Amino acid sequence: MKVLHVYRTCYPETRGGVEQVIRYITQGCQEYGVQSKVLSVSHNDSYSVEVQGTEVILCKADMEIASNSFSFQLFSEFKRLAQWADIIHFHYPWPTGDLLFLFNKDKPSIVTYHSDIIKQKWLKKVYKPLETFFLNNVDAIVATSPQYQKQSPNLLKYCKKTHVIPLAVDPKDYISPDTNWSNDDQYSFLENDYFLFVGVLRYYKGLGYLLDASKKTDATIVIAGDGPLYDELQQRITKENIQNVILTGYISDSEKLKLIANCKAFVFPSHIRSEAFGVSLIEAQMLKKAIISCDISTGTSYVNIHGETGLVVPPGKADSLTNAIEELNRDSQKRSKFGQNGYQRHCHYSR
């Protein structure tokens, strides 16, 4: 079987959660004889690259409106690759992908529904007819958690063809003997006395509230990753003299593993529904870490269960984040219990 994945970004050009998900799907399907290709957009030049047995084809972007990348080259590449594929697997939201669907003549189609469109409300109104046609005509829709299936207005409309398949990671990527700090590691001075956020620094990650929370605790907080909010966060840290927060910027995969493996607990303050799942939550569970997250009626509360695998607090509340950090900071037994429970939960549901 041959499957073409279509999305606006991809690994290794960008390393967000959806990009990791697509990589794990293509990688995991290989053992079942599925050959995959990924069609995406590059903000550099057009090129193709092989990633762990999957060909990734990138078309140079000609324009971008409200995070929606567009390339004229996409259309010719899509027509060519659609002839090769047995199934087209779209990843939503990406309005350009919906437009490409118009050129899909006869191949079965699947869409993994990663998130509602939350922020770009004006674009949503213009885009609505195309979105409706797209979701009406794809053959199957995949929701990434029961919570999102029940809360998304779009998914409720298409419940008869929507299937819940939670996201997962490859456990082999997290079984590494090289998670202890060495003298050469730039963050080894942290030892294991810090709370950690890892992810792309975007508006919906709730990191402003995490900075507010940090000013009410003595615990060290590491914010690892890069993204659109990096400069804004750095300016706040400097201006407000927040001395217990470390903003790392870009980190490698090996640095990410070490930071997660050695933290006290994982903090995920995403506060609005644009955060549909949170793959880094699974990564934390694979390394047996307790989690602090917010209840936003999405997959974050499917992964992290309050009182079992971590603490779930109200969104957008700095005091609630502070209280959760303080609770886990002083209770190592609770951190250990939550971490072990999270690991067992992921192992059970990823079989």
Would you state the structure tokens that stand for residue 195, as one six-digit string? Answer: 């709370």
Q: Where are the alpha helices (DSSP H) in 85-206?
A: 95-101, 121-137, 146-151, 153-157
| Residues 47-84: tens digit of each pLDDT | 999 998 999 999 998 887 767 788 999 999 999 999 99
- Whether 106 and 71 map to the same domain: the answer is yes
Helix, strand or coil, per DSSP, at residue 246: strand
Q: Are 29 and 36 in contact (CB under 8 A)?
A: yes
- Whether 104 and 193 map to the same domain: the answer is no
- The pLDDT score that the predictor gives to residue 121 is 65
Would you state the structure tokens that stand for residue 310, as one six-digit string? Answer: 């971590």
149 closest CA partner among 136, 135, 162, 167 = 162
Q: Are 294 and 304 in contact (CB under 8 A)?
A: no
Q: Are 143 and 167 in contact (CB under 8 A)?
A: no
Tokens 């078309």, residue? 59
Query: Greatest CA span in the chain, whole angstroms?
Result: 60
- Residue-wise pLDDT tens for the chain (351 aa)? 999 999 998 888 887 888 989 999 999 899 999 999 999 999 888 899 999 899 999 999 888 776 778 899 999 999 999 999 999 999 999 999 999 999 987 899 999 999 988 776 666 777 889 999 999 999 999 999 999 999 898 999 999 999 999 988 888 777 766 788 888 889 999 999 999 999 999 999 999 999 999 999 999 999 999 999 999 999 999 999 999 999 999 998 889 999 999 999 999 999 998 898 989 999 999 999 999 999 998 999 999 999 999 999 999 999 999 999 999 999 999 999 999 999 998 876 665
In a domain, 180, yes or no: yes
The count of structural domains within the chain is 2
- The pLDDT score that the predictor gives to residue 228 is 92
In a domain, 169, yes or no: no
Would you state the structure tokens that stand for residue 237, as one six-digit string? Answer: 């840290």
- Whether 118 and 240 map to the same domain: the answer is no
- Whether 90 and 192 map to the same domain: the answer is no
> Domain boundary at 140, 164, 188, which?
164
CA distance 342 to 285: 5
- The pLDDT score that the predictor gives to residue 15 is 79
In a domain, 23, yes or no: yes
In a domain, 114, yes or no: yes
- Whether 186 and 256 map to the same domain: the answer is yes
- Whether 24 and 132 map to the same domain: the answer is yes
- The pLDDT score that the predictor gives to residue 169 is 83
> Domain boundary at 144, 164, 184, which?
164
- Whether 91 and 195 map to the same domain: the answer is no
Our CA angle for 93, 97, 103, nearest 5°, is: 150
- Give every CB contact of residue 226 below 8 A, 6+ residues apart in sequence: 200, 201, 249, 250
- Whether 187 and 317 map to the same domain: the answer is yes
Count of positions (residues) in the chain? 351
Would you state the torsion angle of the CA atoms of residues 66, 67, 68, 69, taken in this order, to the nearest 10 degrees?
130
Pairing state of beta strands 291-294 and 265-268?
parallel
What CATH code is carried by the domain that includes residue 153? Answer: 3.40.50.2000
- Whether 158 and 64 map to the same domain: the answer is yes
CA distance 263 to 256: 11
Burial of residue 94 (CB within 10 Å: 0-12, 13-18, 19+) is: buried
- Whether 106 and 205 map to the same domain: the answer is no
CA distance 337 to 152: 33
> Domain boundary at 136, 164, 192, which?
164
In a domain, 83, yes or no: yes
Query: Is residue 49 within a helix (H) or strand (E), and if so which, with residue range?
Result: strand 47-51
Q: 251 lies in which domain range?
A: 175-349
Tokens 């999957």, residue? 54
Name 3's bridge partners.
36, 87
- The pLDDT score that the predictor gives to residue 349 is 61
In a domain, 170, yes or no: no
CA distance 43 to 191: 37
- Whether 216 and 266 map to the same domain: the answer is yes
- Whether 341 and 194 map to the same domain: the answer is yes
Our CA angle for 334, 336, 340, nearest 5°, is: 120
